[in-house]
Structures are given as C-alpha cells and as structure tokens.
Structure 1
Amino acid sequence: MRRRIVMSMLAGVTFMASTLLAAVPAPAAELDQPSAPSPAQAGEPAQPPAEFGTDWHDPLTAGPPVTRPDAKSCEVTVAEAQFRDFTPYKGTYTPPRGCGDRWSKVVLRMDGKVKGRQFDRLGYLHIGGVEVFRTSTPQPSPDGIAWSVEKDVTRYTDTFRHSRDVEMLIGNVVDDTYTGVIDVKVTLTFYEGKAPAVPDRVLTLQDGTLTTPRNSESIVAEVYATGSGGGCEEYWYLTVPDAAPYSCKAEHGPYREVQIKVDGQLAGIATPFPTVWTGGWSNPFLWYVIPGPRAFDIKPVEYDLTPFAGLLNDGRPHRIEVSVAGVPQGQTGWSTPVNVLVRQDAKSRQVTGKLTVHRASDLANSSTYTPGAEHRLDTEAGHRLTVSGYVDTSHGRVTTTVSRKLANTSAHRWTDGENTDALKATWRDDETVTVDGRGPAKAARTHRTYTMDGTTTLGAGDRLRTIMSLADRAAAVETRGDRRTAWSRLDDTYTGDATYTANVPRDQRHAVGTTTEHYRLYGSGGCYDRLLATVQGVVTKDRGGC
C-alpha cells in the first residue's frame, strides 16, 4: 500500500478472570434490546445504496450493554466539552447526593457527536489522576454522526467517594480541511445497594513510584497500553527489521510485549491487543459503522503483583516501570498510564511476606526475511514468567503464584511499492493465578487469543481494497480445589471488505464496503449473542439471541 495514503494515525490478576466471568450477562430473553432497532431488526429489509454517500448509520458495536440493577440511581456529569485542539478539559467531580457512598454498580457513559471531516482520535478521562476510561473516536460523515460508549467502572469506587479533579482530552486538529469538532458528554450513574467486592484503594504512581498501604494483601496493576501517536507504532505488528525493504522499521521486528518491573525486577508480562483504530489499514470505510474490537472501550492490561506485596508493604516508595519490548530505542509511540488496585487486611496494621519464586525464560524473538517478487517476513516470539510469594495475614499465610506464557506467530507479505500488503498473525496470552491459603486452593486460568488476517491492495485506477478479519477471544475458568466454580468463553470477531478510489476528493471515491461483527459470550452466568452486518454504511442485519 502506498504510504502517502496508508495510515490516518492517532495523535489480584484474579480481577482479570473474574472480570471476564462477571461480564457474562443475563440470558438473552432478559437482555435490553438496542433502543432504536434498525430496519433489519424490525423485520424490514434494509436497502443499501450503490455506494457510500454523505451519511451513514451511527456507529454501533455488537457487544453487550452494561447490565444495570433495579435500584435507586443518581447521575453525575463528569465532563462536557468540545475538543478542537490538544487543550484538555479540566473540571471537578463531586460525589452524588442521595445515593450514599456504597454502590452496587457505577456505570460510565460517554455520548459523542461529530460532523464534517476528521481523523480518528485517541482520548482519556482521569478522575483524581486515575485513568478510568480510554477511548478512540469514529470518523464522521459529512452530515454528522452520534455514538455512545458505556463501561462498568465499579472497581474505581474508592476514587468516586471524594471530590476529585477531572481531566479529559481527545486530542484533535480543526482547520479548513479537518472540520470535525468532537463534542462529548460523560456521566457516571451510581446505583444504590450492597457494594460488591471492590478494591479498598485505587492508587496512581507518584514520580514513577508506588507506596502501598502497609496492610495490603492483594495488589493488582492495570496499564492502559496503546500504540499510537502518528508513527509506525500504531501499526507495530507490520514493522520489519532494517534488512527488509519496508516503510515501517523496527530493529527487532513486529513483536511487542508490555512489561512491568518492580524496583528493576521483571514483575509481569502481557501481550497488547492489536487494536485497529477507525482509519486503520488505509481504509476508513471498513470502520465507519462497526469499529474493530476494543476501539471504543480500550481495556487495560492487568498484572497481579501480590507476590511482591511483602516487598511493597514496607512503607517506602518503590519504583514501578512499564515498558514495551520491541519498540526501537528512543522511539515514542506508546502510552502506558498505570493504576494500582489494592485490597487491604482490615484486621492487620501491617501485612508482611516474601517473594519466593522468580523464574523468567529468555525472551525468544526471531524474524526471518525472505526476499522476492513478494517479500515475506515470518516471526515467532514468546516469553514465560512465573512469580510466587506469600503474605502473612490476619487469616493466615496466603501464597499467590502467577504464571504467564506469551506466544506470537505472524507472516507479513508485501510487494515492491507496498501496493499489496498483507498480514496473518496470532497472539496468545495464557495466564494462571493460584491463591493458596486457608481451605482448598483457588485458581483462575485465562487463555487469550487475538488474531488478525488482513490484506490491502492498490490496483488499477488507484482502487484500494482492504479485506480484514480481526478477533478477540478468551476462555476463563475458576476452580476451588478440584471443583469448577465459574467459566466463560468470549469470541468477538470482526470481518470487513471495503474498496474506494484513493488520492481523489472525497466525493469521487465511489466507495463500497461490507462489514460484520459477531459477539458471543457464554458461560456459567448465562449467554449473549449478537450479529451485526452493514452494506455501504446501512445496517442490514442486527440479530440477537442465544
């Protein structure tokens, strides 16, 4: 693909398994249906135009809505702003009145609208310095679009109990060409009721250091890692070593790994999700209505640091470093803000302990370049880490063991001039967290698989075509002793095929495109299944039910 048109760039891990398991919604018959059914949902055949026009369906995703309890609620507006540049919105959050300070659920909702012409943009929301939401934006139609995103943010309850400073930014550029002003409103809705088991404290780093309460018995770090910033790290999975003739270079090829260290010692490893923003792969027509998985609600990478609690609980600040292995030295392009979620032992003034096992394999990363009429880069990479440690709590000694195994294979093919550019890749991130204390040991196993299979070609008449399949899959199971206590399986698969004439004004692109998203989530808590399909920006299918 030609680089002049190729990329519109963006300026206890037990929580992990339980988050996936808790995401299983009620059975399909009890689910809320979309508030405005499409003609396809209502049983009327949708009639797509011959090509994209100046308007299309508002962006939507097939993922489940956030379930809400039947309880008294209070709503607080957190931010309301129009983003035209890189000036952040700043305000003050005040806890809700009339719903107490213990809530059964807290739901964040962002409503946005934009019209004209604009790139995809990356945004964040901080409350009291805690990053509670990270998102990216859809690209607008000339006539304008509106969209919304909801997120369960109950885990940040500690942050919401007191008045806090608010900062939000969706960095944007508005000029004679890029006219889209991004208009957003963010609210929090608090539902009164019995509070779930949420972290007692939500902490942020201070000058790169962390000081935990001395009675911390569970410590989980979450990192909202995103590759972006207008350079090749937005497309890190396509980078090649210097020896290969391709426009995006990285000394060690396309493998990326998000690492966290405690006082210089490797404490956690994770695979970043290969998020594709809504201008990705040179073809915004793929993403106008249905974005790729996670694009609107960027999930953090999570690490259970409880094996290090004995070290961290000494009352002193400890250095916490997050880095992305594989990024060329000195090159920017990744954002890695960190929150730390702590559960405390209310009956102890100090919880002591020790790290007992730290076993890391060498990071394997091999890329083989094969020249030819069609160049090829084959990559195999992987890494393993096991850490274990104990804490002596008021209810006895508890040992936590975290094992993580990462693996990546990819085949990148391209021609001279990059008029054909293709990638087929798989990433695996397998994790087991075992907690052994009083009673049978508890284990949470999560197996994540991400896949990407995409090809872009620039053919006769500058007709650019992109075919894409992108999947986010996970299987999670929790056990206590030999008994399975909960399980779930997720499969969120996007497919698309879009073609347009490149390097011409917008009204001469004659674009066509079909997209689908099939989101399936089922397990011990119920099931959810929804399929969306579009043609030329018109929703032709919206089918739900298990």
Structure 2
Amino acid sequence: MTRRIIMSMFTGATLLASTLLGASPAQAADVPAEFADVPAEFGTDWHDPVTAAPPVTRPDTASCEVTVAEARFRDFTPYQGAYAPPQGCGDRWSKVVLRLDGKVKGRQYDRLGHLHVGGVEILRTSTPQPSPDGIEWSVEKDVTRYSPTLRSPQPVEMLIGNVVDDTYTGVIDVKVTLTFYSPAEASPAEKHPAAQPPTPTPDRVLPLAPGTTLTTPRNSERIVAEVYATGSGGGCEEYWYLTVPGSAPYSCRADDGPYREVQITVDGRLAGIAAPFPTVWTGGWSNPFLWYVVPGPRAFDIKPIEYDLTPFAGLLNDGRPHRVEVSVAGLPEGRPGWSTPVNVLVWQDHGRERVTGGLTAHRAGDLANSSVHTPGARHRVDTDGAHRLTVAGYVDTSHGRVTTTVSRSLATSSVHRWTDGETTDALDATWTDTETITVDGRGPARTTHAHRTYTMDGTTTLGAADRLRTVLTLGDRATVVVSRGGHRTTWSRLDDTYSGDATYTADVPRDQRHAVGTTTERYRLYGPSGCHDRSLTAVQGVLTEDSDRCRTGTGAAPAQGQVSR
C-alpha cells in the first residue's frame, strides 16, 4: 500500500473517509488489564475531547456575558453578526474570557475556524472529529488584550469551513460567548498611570488585511504584531515538517526541504523572525484514533506568534502608511497552505501628541538551511537550519527616552526516514526559538528572556494484514524569565507533552478496523504564583486517568534551571 493511503495527512479524503466509517489502533491485548470497563476496541462513542491545559483564571468580581456568535456550519458560508458591548460592566474590564462550546455527531473531518470582531482575529481554532453518537467540547481563551475593539459595537464574522453530504454528515454546532469582569478597586499608585509602564492591555488593536498598509497613531510608544500562522488545508504545507528536497522520492517535496520560518517586514526590511509551531490537527499522522479524546498541543487554541516592533516605532509614527507584511521562508513559490492574519497592538503615550524616535541597530544573520537526502532501503533526510536577528530603536516619550532591543535566534534539527512506498515513515525533529527583549527607560532596564522548544518524534508503519500503527510524541516547552536591573522579578516554566499509540486495519469498513489506541498528555506550568500539573490518559476512547499532582502535593516546582520530565 502506498503513501497515498497511509498518510491521509497529505491527501485527506482517502483514509479519513474509511477511518470515520471504520476504525482500529495497537491490539486488543494491548489494553491494560486494570481497565476492566475499557472496551477492547473503539466503538461508536467515546469520551468528549479534553485537554490537560489549565483553565483560564477568573477574577472574583462582578461579570456580564455577551453571546458573540451562534451558528451551525455545514458549508463555507461565514456567520455574519453584530457585537454590542455588555451593559452594566462599564467599559474597562480586569479580564475578558472567550468561551466556545461546540457539538457534532456522525462523520466529519477536522476543520479549521476563526472568529473576527471588528476585523480583529480573536480566535483561531480547529475541531475534533466526532463519534457516530456525537461529542461536545469547549475552548476558553483570555482575550483581554482585545478590549479596545470590544468597547464599541462591531461586526462579527465566524467561519468553520465544512462539507456535509451523504458521507460526511457532521454539522458543526457552536456558540461563542464573552464574559467581562469588572476591575477590582485600584490602589493609589495604580491611579497614577503616568508613573507606570505600559499596561498589558493596548490602547488600539489594528487588523491588517493582506495587501493593506499600516498607519499607527503618531504617539505610539509600543507596537506589537501578532500573527496567527497556520499551515493547513489538506496539502503538503499542513505537514510542512515532513517535506523533502526535490531530488528525494517522496510524496511531498519542497526545493529547500522542511525548514519554515515566519517572517515579518516593515517597508521591506526584516523586522521579526519566528519558528512556526508544528500543530497537528485531529486527523493528523494518518490516525484520527490518536486524537479522539486528547488533542495535540494547541490544536483547539492556536496561539499567535508575537513580534515586538517597537524598535520601528519612530519610523511608523510619521503619519504615513507603511507596508507590514508576513511571509513564510522555505515555502515553495506558488504553493498554497499558509494562513497568516495579522493584528497590530498599539500602546500610546497619552502625555504627548507625537512620539519621535529612530532605529539604531539592525543585524540580520544569513539564513542557514541544509537539507541532505541520503538514498537507501530507508531513505533519510537530515535538515539543519538557523537564523538570527537583532533590532534596536528608541522613542522619546513624555516620560523620557525609552530604548528597546529585540534579539531572536531560531534553530531547527530534524531527521526524516522512510522506506520505498512510504510504508514506514518516521520523523524526529526539534525547533528552538529564543528571544530576548530589553527595554531601557522608566528606571532600571527590564529584560524578558523566552526560550521555546517544540519537539516531534513519530513513526507510522503499515504492517502485516494492513495494520497501520502510529506512535507519536509531541512537546511544547517554554521558559520565560523577567528581570529588572539585573534581578529576576518573575518567571514561568511550561512543559506540555503528548504521547499516543494507535493501530487499526486500513482501507476496510469500520466494523472491520479493530481500532485500539492509548493517548496521554501531561501539562506542567510552574511560576511564582503556583503550579499546574495535570495528566490525562485515554484508552479506546475511555478516559482512564485525570490527575492533578499539584493538588495532591506531588507536583512541586522544579529547581531553577530544570524542568522535570
């Protein structure tokens, strides 16, 4: 059997159609004996999707709720509606929490969706694949940063593109609400904003559509762009990390191999670089049985990449339109598959009508990218990539000169092995994205250092009797340290690890697939305010473990500089 059948991640319909009609992972004997109530294989129903990520914290203050969208998606017609700010909660909030509640039953693909309010993208998400009997799920997100947009009536657009026909019967039914929390009483110091650094909530949020220009307020003192970058659409770029150089015999090729980098430019000048997160959707790696209960990291809440453009504020504040553009390095020319919507967040100096400044440093290293194919019974592609960028600039504000320096370095290392016919296909990859932002002004210099690491280690094999097995481990890790005047003021440490092992008989009706599978997720987040350490395990669609080590006293934070495994 060829790759066209094994890796539906590339061709989409062939495997998933048969998967949703019939199923199977490891062997029935692989089910742990202590799970007496766990079925021998997947049936027609399974536990609703759940993740180990922490819930959004909510303040203990008065709140108001507004429904933003309520729709049933059966095609590619977007929901169009209107948003009005809440009554009775004022127009300044301590927190705004978005909640999406969804349900679907029957057969359906995983689908990608977005929600725009006033043209600003406030949510990018994907959907789980349903059981025949139906599932429900929810997603929560802190959207306080979009408060400037939410203070006035706005048009709403939401789309989860879908296809419903005689085979794919799942209609995606969703409701999205926003809950607004009133602020707590401010302390005397907090009532004098001129003495404080810029707040976490910007003064303006400007959506930037492709092909349009950006004009910022002339008194902008901090500018951050966020990009919801996703490779998707069922083609090769949905699985960009598996592409190979054009000379290699593989179903997805790219001239420069699998290296991808999301870049942002200001008037044609490189202003930011970032490693894209290797999101795996709920039909990924040819095996939906991996994801029925526990999705991969970030699959339901796609986080934007952030770029601090403050070094360019002196240029952008001239009152003229500027080109701020996003591109994906390594993407073959003319190949579709990447979506990169942009929001620009602006903090203004309310003590000055115009803030001037200038760019003082711009050092862009050469982009190093080597992707070498070694032929053989097991083909191999070794890829190594790296890039560095440092930019610095100043703004003269009502509270003095503030200098911002942003340094970012990226590195990629991957080994891709496969056999002829792609009946065995394996990838072991690591991406690192290290960023240091130093803001000098308003007192001692403040430095934020973030080190992000993404990992993927998986193998798909088509064996005897067309048993297709996928074993996969994904990692999303980050360490952030904030210091002021050389002294650490706060820190956080994240380790979100997913592991799955699922097997089924390929290309047969559902009742002959004999699917079995085990998935686990452990999400650990430590910081000065406490810890979150939750573990989930699902076997054949039954949730068999849901534990919180912090609550039981076994999840103490690791020593500084360490992340427990």
TM-score by length of 2: 0.90
**Per-residue deviation, 1:189:** 0.4
* 8 Å Cα contact 2:3/2:251 also seen in 1: no
Deviations, residues 362-409 of structure 1 (Å, cap 9, x unaligned): 000001110000000000001000000000000111000000000000
Q: Does 1:197 align with 2:200?
A: yes
**Per-residue deviation, 1:3:** 1.6
Aligned to 2:156: 166
Aligned to 1:304: 308
Q: Does 1:467 align with 2:471?
A: yes
Aligned to 2:26: none
Paired AA for residue 467 in structure 2? R
Paired AA for residue 182 in structure 1? I
After TM superposition, the structure 1 stretch with the greater mean CA deviation from structure 2, 385-394 or 46-55, is 46-55
Measure, in 1, the Cα distance between the counterparts of 2:522 and 2:61: 31
Instruction: Give the gaps of 5 or more residues in structure 2.
Output: 14-33, 187-198, 551-565
**Per-residue deviation, 1:438:** 3.2
The number of residue pairs the alignment matches comes to: 514
* 8 Å Cα contact 2:204/2:347 also seen in 1: yes
Aligned to 1:50: 40
Paired AA for residue 62 in structure 1? A
Measure, in 2, the Cα distance between the counterparts of 1:146 and 1:424: 33
**Per-residue deviation, 1:331:** 0.7
After TM superposition, the structure 1 = structure 2 runs for residues 34-45 of structure 1, keeping only pairs within 5 Å, are none
Measure, in 2, the Cα distance between the counterparts of 1:484 and 1:401: 18
Aligned to 1:62: 52
**Per-residue deviation, 1:257:** 0.2
* 8 Å Cα contact 1:48/1:535 also seen in 2: yes
Q: Does 1:7 align with 2:8?
A: yes
Aligned to 1:406: 410
* 8 Å Cα contact 1:7/1:282 also seen in 2: yes
**Per-residue deviation, 1:5:** 4.3
Aligned to 2:110: 120
Paired AA for residue 405 in structure 1? S
Paired AA for residue 222 in structure 2? S
Paired AA for residue 155 in structure 1? R
Paired AA for residue 52 in structure 1? F
Aligned to 2:558: none
Aligned to 2:429: 425
Q: 1:386 to 1:50 in 2, by over 3 A?
A: same
Paired AA for residue 197 in structure 1? P
**Per-residue deviation, 1:47:** 2.0
**Per-residue deviation, 1:498:** 0.2
Aligned to 2:295: 291
**Per-residue deviation, 1:197:** 3.5
Paired AA for residue 329 in structure 2? A
Aligned to 2:285, what secondary structure does the other structure show? helix
Measure, in 2, the Cα distance between the counterparts of 1:46 and 1:113: 29
**Per-residue deviation, 1:507:** 2.1
Measure, in 2, the Cα distance between the counterparts of 1:8 and 1:399: 46
Aligned to 1:78: 68
Deviations, residues 333-366 of structure 1 (Å, cap 9, x unaligned): 0000000001000001000000010000000000
Aligned to 2:317: 313
Measure, in 2, the Cα distance between the counterparts of 1:524 and 1:71: 23
Aligned to 2:239, what secondary structure does the other structure show? helix
* 8 Å Cα contact 1:5/1:503 also seen in 2: no
Aligned to 1:17: none
Q: Does 1:368 align with 2:379?
A: no
Aligned to 1:143, what secondary structure does the other structure show? coil
Aligned to 2:78: 88
Measure, in 1, the Cα distance between the counterparts of 2:158 and 2:66: 15
* 8 Å Cα contact 2:113/2:124 also seen in 1: yes
Aligned to 1:344: 348
Measure, in 2, the Cα distance between the counterparts of 1:529 and 1:438: 37
Aligned to 1:440: 444
* 8 Å Cα contact 1:46/1:540 also seen in 2: no
Aligned to 2:456: 452
Aligned to 1:275: 279
Measure, in 2, the Cα distance between the counterparts of 1:205 and 1:249: 31
* 8 Å Cα contact 1:126/1:133 also seen in 2: yes
Paired AA for residue 205 in structure 2? V
**Per-residue deviation, 1:227:** 0.1
Q: Does 1:333 align with 2:340?
A: no
Measure, in 1, the Cα distance between the counterparts of 2:4 and 2:56: 39
Measure, in 2, the Cα distance between the counterparts of 1:45 and 1:288: 18
Percent identity of paired positions between Structure 1 and Structure 2:
77
Aligned to 2:94, what secondary structure does the other structure show? strand
Measure, in 1, the Cα distance between the counterparts of 2:442 and 2:121: 35
Deviations, residues 145-196 of structure 1 (Å, cap 9, x unaligned): 0000000000100010000000000000111111100000000000111496
After TM superposition, the structure 1 stretch with the greater mean CA deviation from structure 2, 501-510 or 234-243, is 501-510
**Per-residue deviation, 1:6:** 1.6
Q: Does 1:245 align with 2:245?
A: no
Of residues 225, 232, 238, the one that matches 2:229 is 225
Paired AA for residue 260 in structure 2? R
**Per-residue deviation, 1:8:** 4.7
Aligned to 1:158, what secondary structure does the other structure show? helix
Measure, in 2, the Cα distance between the counterparts of 1:264 and 1:501: 51
Measure, in 1, the Cα distance between the counterparts of 2:476 and 2:208: 30
**Per-residue deviation, 1:540:** 0.6
Q: Does 1:153 align with 2:143?
A: yes
Aligned to 1:295, what secondary structure does the other structure show? coil
**Per-residue deviation, 1:46:** 6.7
Q: Does 1:179 align with 2:169?
A: yes
Paired AA for residue 4 in structure 2? R
Paired AA for residue 198 in structure 1? T
Aligned to 1:281, what secondary structure does the other structure show? coil
* 8 Å Cα contact 1:46/1:539 also seen in 2: no
Deviations, residues 238-288 of structure 1 (Å, cap 9, x unaligned): 000111000001010000000000000000000000000000000000000
* 8 Å Cα contact 2:245/2:372 also seen in 1: no
Aligned to 2:101: 111
Measure, in 2, the Cα distance between the counterparts of 1:535 and 1:45: 9
* 8 Å Cα contact 1:398/1:436 also seen in 2: yes
Instruction: Give the gaps of 5 or more residues in structure 1.
Output: 12-43
Measure, in 2, the Cα distance between the counterparts of 1:3 and 1:356: 52
Measure, in 2, the Cα distance between the counterparts of 1:487 and 1:215: 31
Deviations, residues 423-477 of structure 1 (Å, cap 9, x unaligned): 0000000000000113210000000000000000001111000000000000000
Aligned to 1:58, what secondary structure does the other structure show? coil
Deviations, residues 316-337 of structure 1 (Å, cap 9, x unaligned): 1100110000010011100000
Paired AA for residue 103 in structure 1? W
Paired AA for residue 484 in structure 1? R
Aligned to 2:24: none
Paired AA for residue 314 in structure 1? D
TM-score by length of 1: 0.93
* 8 Å Cα contact 2:46/2:542 also seen in 1: yes
* 8 Å Cα contact 1:46/1:538 also seen in 2: no
Of residues 521, 524, 536, the one that matches 1:520 is 524
Aligned to 2:191: none
Q: Does 1:539 align with 2:540?
A: no
Measure, in 2, the Cα distance between the counterparts of 1:101 and 1:534: 43
